[in-house]
Amino acid sequence: MARRPRTLTVLGVGASVAVAALVLGALAAILVRAGGFAGLRPSDWGAVRFTLWQAALSALLSVGLAVPVARGLARRRFPGRGLLVTLMGAPFILPVIVAILGLLTVFGRGGWVNDALGAVGLPPVGIYGAHGVILAHVFFNLPLATRLILQGWQDIPAERFRLAANLGLSPARIARLIEWPMLRATLPGALLVVFVVCTTSFAVALTLGGGPRATTIELAIYQAFRFDFDLGRAAALALLQLAVTAVAGLVALRATMPEAVGRGLDRPVQRWDRVPPWADVAWIALAAAFLLAPLAALARRGMPALTDLPAPVWQAAGRSVAVAAVSALVCVAMAVAIAVAAARLGGARATAVELAGMLGLAASPLVLGTGLFIVTYPYVRPQDAALAVTAVVNAAMALPFALRALVPAVARVEAEYGRLADALGLRGAARMRRLVLPRIRRPLGFAAGLAAALSMGDLGVIALFADPGSATLPLQLYRLMGAYRMDEAAGAALLLLGLSLAAFWICDRGGRVDADA
Amino acid sequence: MLTLDRAVARLPDWTLAADLSVERAAQVAVMGPSGAGKSTLLAAIGGFVPLSAGRITWDGVRIDTRAPAERPVATIFQDDNLFPHLSAFENVGLGIAPNRRLVGAERDRVEDMLARVGLEGMGARKPAALSGGEQSRVALARAVLQDRPVILLDEPFAALGPALKAEMIDLVSELAGARGRTVLMVTHDPRDARRLGGDTILVAEGRAEPPAPTGALLAKPPPALAAYLGQVEARGSNAYLPPGPGRERT
């Protein structure tokens, strides 16, 4: 069974080497440029502290609130349940800046909540500052945590509940004997995931935080760039960020990592214990209102402005679509090549190739951006590199998710049909076209959609590089907000939201239509 | 002639030894207890299990060092014989040209072969729209079109009912016989072996015996086969025993 060196294997290994070179190269540039931590100011260490405690608090709040919501969703059937659970997966592809604008419309000055408070004579609440940052983090991560915990509930074998009904166990006993052990296994992972997500928060801190008491490390990096152009300090901060991400990530890897993306959660658990529904109804309604009100408010405000958005918004939208298309293409091409190489190499070499592709997880977009800035700015004007860097960095960021979907899919195809394909002599491009690609269409479409939506909504790397002439839609939107042109901003946000969802939908749909089981 | 010359297929925890020959155009059943190595024997010939000793030759030419697609062998596996995303026509077409489009005359050959296995006009259907028996026919049509002198069948008809299975075995006999192909067919059921006619290779206790006439073998079974046939009879008469053996070791 002699095997020739295979083009695709070479491509896959090449792709993983390229990702590793990108990430490690950026880190090396940062290491070289960072002149040690002596140049850091007290406010920078304050940013480290704020990053950690706001992430911890955000994780606790998100997961704490998610438990009753997930329990309600797990044991109730009602019309719209499936839709709500699907929507809970949406924040992942919802551009951060859009959600922030929605939250401002509801909780901001002159927002719905303050109007209501004013009507009954209470003083208004502000959204800017630490609590605004945490509010936004809960908005993003409550749905994520809910889906993780709901998964845990649905993984409890139905027979357990049948047995409990058979024995006549009370709801309290069921909670103690069946549900608590599941939560004990699920919650640490969920807390860690949310914590990690919140430690790399940039756009939220940029818009709602700031100042000495609500600056994250990522925001401090951006400020060191933009306001001081102190690359040494930015690099030192990037190292701190990297340390935080790496430590949290390693801990998260060791804990059992639950799966949150793209699994069927549309089946309620059949239960026989009768608990009055009121608490569940209240929790689900509150969560739904909290998640949907900002988007509804945004839609109401933005709809009228949508028809006459200024020209720069449309130009920025065009750039965003181009970036998303390139990013999705690069990400998916690399993911397929790496997945095929991993399936063929097997063993330790497969793990190495896959891990190299996952390296994007170790660095946040802003850290990567910092490194790339240091490498490129002596040669290229940052604004000229802005779009390319944004596309590449986002492709690297989406790659781990794409690999997570595609590596098992390709391995399954090879396990099920590899022998048949070998026996028939199906190989090379024909094997890809006739066997592998058709059979991985669903995860492929999903991965492409995810990469497109993520890069479409990115407000991170682009903020480091771009000038007004090379702004993407999220950056343009941020500028409109900064200029207090809130109606236009709401219109642009709706446009961005529509583009992100459309990008995801088109790709994901493309994978599903006429796909055979 | 297919020859296994003191061949040993070594899997991680056990081995299968075979020292035997099968005449060209013979139709041979492969029988024996579950887990004895029937599927391993076929996998070794097909190129999916490496040999640790000995060699396999076809008409004196060594083949065990070749990749599966370069051996003079077409295999029909226990399951997953068809690509579910391709139509019956496309699946059969892979037997002629796996790596390119079919040209006009080749398309006619596929249509003819589909008609020969009783699937005229059903070429556009995907496997999900075909019954189990029809799927077997598609796989058989492809194996015949592959134009390899040896066809290996690893119990592909195990899931079919008795009448349908008999029909398929007759179809194999007819198609392979007309073209002078050599057939090795794994089966659990002595009735299948009888139906195929010819000889039977007994696989038991890590050894594949040379082919012996099926009738004589079944009339006067050696101890390993007798024990196995006893089980088969018991299973036939007692509905409460667990269902038949599952997937073979491959």
Cβ pair A138, A65 in contact under 8 A: yes
The answer to whether residues B167 and B249 belong to one domain is: yes
A415 and B CB contact within 8 Å? no
**pLDDT band at residue B239 under the 50/70/90 scheme:** very low
> By CB neighbour count within 10 A (0-12 exposed, 13-18 middle, 19+ buried), where does A116 fall?
exposed
The answer to whether residues B183 and B228 belong to one domain is: yes
pLDDT given at position B247: 40
Residue A478 has pLDDT above 60, yes or no: yes
Put simply, the answer to whether A422 touches B83 (Cβ < 8 Å) is no
Put simply, the answer to whether A2 touches B146 (Cβ < 8 Å) is no
CATH code, domain carrying B207: 3.40.50.300
The residues in A 117-176 lying below 8 A from B, measured between CB atoms, are: none
Structural domain includes residue B186: yes
The answer to whether residues B172 and B242 belong to one domain is: yes
pLDDT (mean) for A316-344: 93
Element spanning A198, H or E = helix A180-199
pLDDT in tens, B43-67: 999 988 889 999 999 999 999 998 8
pLDDT given at position B248: 41
- Domains, in order of start, for chain A: 1-33+308-517 (1.10.3720.10), 50-298 (1.10.3720.10)
- Is the Cα dihedral A366, A371, A377, A380 positive or negative? negative
The answer to whether residues B240 and B170 belong to one domain is: yes
- Give pTM, 2 decimals: 0.79
SS3 B20: strand
Distance from the Cα of B143 to chain A's closest Cα (Å) equals 9
pLDDT in tens, A53-77: 999 999 999 999 999 999 898 888 8
pLDDT given at position A50: 93
pLDDT given at position A427: 82
Q: What are phi and psi of B161, to 5 degrees?
A: -70, 165
- Out of B111, B131, B147, a domain closes at B147
Put simply, the answer to whether A423 touches B86 (Cβ < 8 Å) is no
- Out of B112, B147, B182, a domain closes at B147
Residue B108 has pLDDT above 90, yes or no: yes
Structural domain includes residue B78: no
The answer to whether residues B230 and B181 belong to one domain is: yes
Put simply, the answer to whether A422 touches B70 (Cβ < 8 Å) is no
pLDDT given at position A517: 47
- For residue A169, the tally of other CB atoms under 10 A from its CB is 18
Residue B182 has pLDDT above 50, yes or no: yes
Structural domain includes residue B248: yes
Structural domain includes residue B124: yes
The answer to whether residues B93 and B61 belong to one domain is: no
pLDDT given at position A267: 56
Q: Give the tokens for residue A101.
A: 């604008």
The answer to whether residues B161 and B245 belong to one domain is: yes
Structural domain includes residue B205: yes
- Give the count of Cβ contacts less than 8 A between chain A and B: 72
The answer to whether residues B157 and B240 belong to one domain is: yes
pLDDT given at position A275: 67
The answer to whether residues B156 and B135 belong to one domain is: no
The answer to whether residues B172 and B57 belong to one domain is: yes
Three-state secondary structure string covering B103-172:
CHHHHHHHHHHHHHCCCCCCCCCCHHHCCHHHHHHHHHHHHHHCCCCEEEEECCCCCCCHHHHHHHHHHH
Structural domain includes residue B77: no
pLDDT in tens, B25-41: 999 999 988 888 898 99
- Alpha-carbon distances, residue A123 vs A9, A117, A313, A501 (angstroms): 64, 7, 36, 37
**pLDDT band at residue A333 under the 50/70/90 scheme:** very high
**Amino acid at the residue A426:** L
pLDDT given at position B172: 92
> Could you tell me the residue range of the domain that residue B32 belongs to?
1-72+152-250
pLDDT (mean) for B122-140: 91
Cβ pair A366, A226 in contact under 8 A: no
Average model confidence (pLDDT) across chain B = 87
Structural domain includes residue B42: yes
- Out of B147, B166, B185, a domain closes at B147
**Above pLDDT 70, what percent of chain A?**
94
How many domains is chain B built from?
2
Q: Give the tokens for residue A480.
A: 């409109």
**pLDDT band at residue A515 under the 50/70/90 scheme:** low
The answer to whether residues B164 and B208 belong to one domain is: yes
pLDDT in tens, A297-321: 888 888 888 888 888 999 999 999 9
The answer to whether residues B68 and B100 belong to one domain is: no
Residue A280 has pLDDT above 90, yes or no: no
pLDDT in tens, A382-434: 888 889 999 999 999 899 889 988 998 999 998 889 889 988 888 888 889 88
